[in-house]
Amino acid sequence: MDASGSHEANRAYYDAFSQRYEAHRGQNDPGGYHELLDELESAFVRRYATGRDLLEVGCGTGLVLERLARFTRSAKGIDLSPGMLAKAEARGLDVVLGSATELPFEDAQFDVTCSFKVLAHIPDLERALSEMARVTRPGGVVIAELYNPQSFRGLVKRLGPSQPIASQADESHVYTAYHTPEQIAALAPPGCELVDSRGVRIVTPAAVAMRVPLLRGLLRTAELALCDSPLKRFGGFYIAAFAKRA
């Protein structure tokens, strides 16, 4: 599929997804699975972005970007889907329409450039990472989250049925790739080196498990305790921080 075709397919997928994206997120499921993921992702970014200028690539409806804006000097988001961006704009966030493989920003404009649950759906991943590095200032950090096949989540996604995301769309309608922690480390953009990582969703077998009252607290405690431990390599979502050399 060429780049334009990929963009159109992804835009259609996420526009459809935007209609029910927050059904079990944010205020609709406080303390739930997705809120835990958002917390773990934003807390990792806080290490590098406090008081600095940040860009989130693939900001969606702005749930994570809203958290990031609380501790950054400036927080901007970009997304391919007008449907997703409409909800981010309703939150009062600074967002623009655009593609991860052609970021509409000048070189070295941000201190931290991050992306969550998006890069795995971009066929030209290396170009997207290169673009993120291009708009990051020397001495800044590129934070990339990818899907790990060596995890409970990876096993479920490969062996289980595709989950519906809208009335006439499911997960099979979007390109999805998986990378091991070793493969992710090798994806360091030009001029960057791996300096940190975190595993998210290490012991949670499925999102629905956190809707069980007795399990929610136990799983949350375990995920918070293990995200930076040696077991992080088994996180379904694997976050890598690449420092851009000064």
Is the model's pLDDT at 210 over the cut of 60? yes
The answer to whether 66 and 58 are in contact (CB under 8 A) is no
SS (H, E, C) the chain: CCHHHHHHHHHHHHHHHCCCCCCCCHHHCCCCHHHHHHHHHHHHHHHHHCCCEEEEECCCCCHHHHHHCCCCCEEEEEECCHHHHHHHHHCCCEEEECECCECCCCCCCEEEEEECCCHHHCCCHHHHHHHHHHCEEEEEEEEEEEECCCCHHHHHHHHCCCCEEECCEEHHHCCCCCCCHHHHHCCCCCCEEEEEEEEECCCCCCHHHHHCHHHHHHHHHHHHHHCCCHHHHHCCEEEEEEEECC
Is the model's pLDDT at 141 over the cut of 50? yes
Is the model's pLDDT at 25 over the cut of 70? no
Position 79 scores a pLDDT of: 95
The pLDDT tens digits for 86-117 are: 999 999 999 999 999 999 999 999 999 999 99
What tokens were used for 232? 């992080």
In 159-168, which positions are buried (b, 16+ CB within 10 angstroms) versus exposed (e)? eeeeeebbee
pTM: 0.88
Whole-number percent of the chain with pLDDT over 70: 82
Position 3 scores a pLDDT of: 43
Closest to 116 (Cα-Cα) out of 195, 198, 28: 198
Q: What angle do CA 161, 166, 168 make, to 5 degrees?
A: 80
CATH number at residue 240: 3.40.50.150
* Confidence band of 5 (pLDDT split at 50, 70, 90): very low
* Confidence band of 124 (pLDDT split at 50, 70, 90): very high
Domains held by the chain: number: 1
Position 224 scores a pLDDT of: 97
* Bigger pLDDT: 171 vs 106: 106
Parent domain of 195: 3-244
**Of 12-21, 97-106, 173-182, 234-243, the least confident:** 12-21
Average pLDDT over residues 159-170: 62
